[in-house]
Homo-oligomer: A and B are copies of this chain.
């Protein structure tokens, strides 16, 4: 019963319709990179499409910094917005749910239902809050491997992710080489730069220094570090759009039509209005402690580190085939960063295809239905064989 609003142009494929998240309880202890361990944890997931009898058509979608398990479809007929990657996932879409069984989860440490700072620590009976361990991309892959076990999936036909999601894809190929056949690494980087860390650090300081942070125990204090979280998100958005895209979209347009300057600090330029809106709406849906640990997972990601700073050596562990995609005007993780990944894969003797998409927005392009981009995804995934001798 897909509501009328869900209908899309035929060429774009259809909607997965109404979907219901499920909570998967994982009772296997998980030792984390920080040295602590979780005896038990829960992951909230959504699935689209049907797992085939051979269990060979499963695709894992890994989310980025502020993403969650709700990648496609709607939660109710009243929903105004579909999942965050609805443009790419559905029947007839590039990640075709007629062919694949698609799984998306809220990562460990997230704030949309999976075990994390906003859930109860069973040892204390209180909210985890700031005591939840800082997790790494490697920890996420380990938790996702346990999820695959639980779902009876020996190997993913593909693991797909953009940005921080793409980093999880790379880690999958290194840590669980026999369990991933195709790795789609989109708008990612082999590790983040000093400038990227600098942006993350300012976002963290905005949250940590907010008097409403209360050492991370803000929920118990009946508070929320809204100002810090808002600043962090506004800052993020600067890095999601290119200078050129911001110019094209906002320029120096003033919100008031009279063309006069305000001479005060109220919202004045269109770009200010956009940023404040993005900041305010983020505060309603996200958690400060989760934001902190997500940025730290980004900072820490560096798969070459355990291989003598040699990314090719890391990728020599991999068995998957790779598709690497970058976007021309992405300045957060520029095409040059994707080329570093591609060059290391080539040096490691891996099978890799690379597409640099001419784009207009910036880092956000990985979420956009750019025809050339979707054609690349579709063509690659159409050729993924499901008859596999394991």
Are A194 and B247 neighbours in the complex by a CB distance under 8 Å?
Answer: yes
Residues facing B in A212-258 (CB within 8 A) are 227, 230-231, 234-235, 237-238, 241, 243, 246-247, 249-252
* A276 CB to nearest chain B CB (Å): 8
CA distance A246 to B196 in the complex (A): 10
Are A134 and B264 neighbours in the complex by a CB distance under 8 Å?
Answer: yes
- Interface residues of chain A: helix, strand, loop or mixed (majority): helix
Are A201 and B275 neighbours in the complex by a CB distance under 8 Å?
Answer: yes
Are B198 and A271 neighbours in the complex by a CB distance under 8 Å?
Answer: yes
CA distance A164 to B243 in the complex (A): 19
Count residues on chain A whose CB falls below 8 Å from chain B CBs. Answer: 54
* A245 CB to nearest chain B CB (Å): 9
* A255 CB to nearest chain B CB (Å): 12
* A191 CB to nearest chain B CB (Å): 7
Are B193 and A134 neighbours in the complex by a CB distance under 8 Å?
Answer: no
Are B292 and A243 neighbours in the complex by a CB distance under 8 Å?
Answer: no
Q: Across the interface, which residues of B come within 8 angstroms of A247, CB to CB?
A: 193-195
| A-to-B contact residues, CB < 8 Å | 33-35, 133-134, 191-195, 197-199, 201-202, 204-206, 208-211, 227, 230-231, 234-235, 237-238, 241, 243, 246-247, 249-252, 261, 263-265, 268-272, 275-276, 279, 292, 296, 299-300, 302
28 residue pairs of the A-B complex, CB under 8 angstroms, read A34-B263, A35-B263, A134-B264, A193-B243, A193-B246, A194-B247, A194-B249, A194-B269, A195-B247, A197-B269, A197-B271, A197-B272, A198-B271, A201-B234, A201-B269, A201-B275, A201-B276, A202-B275, A204-B265, A205-B231, A205-B276, A205-B279, A208-B265, A209-B230, A209-B231, A235-B235, A265-B296, A269-B299
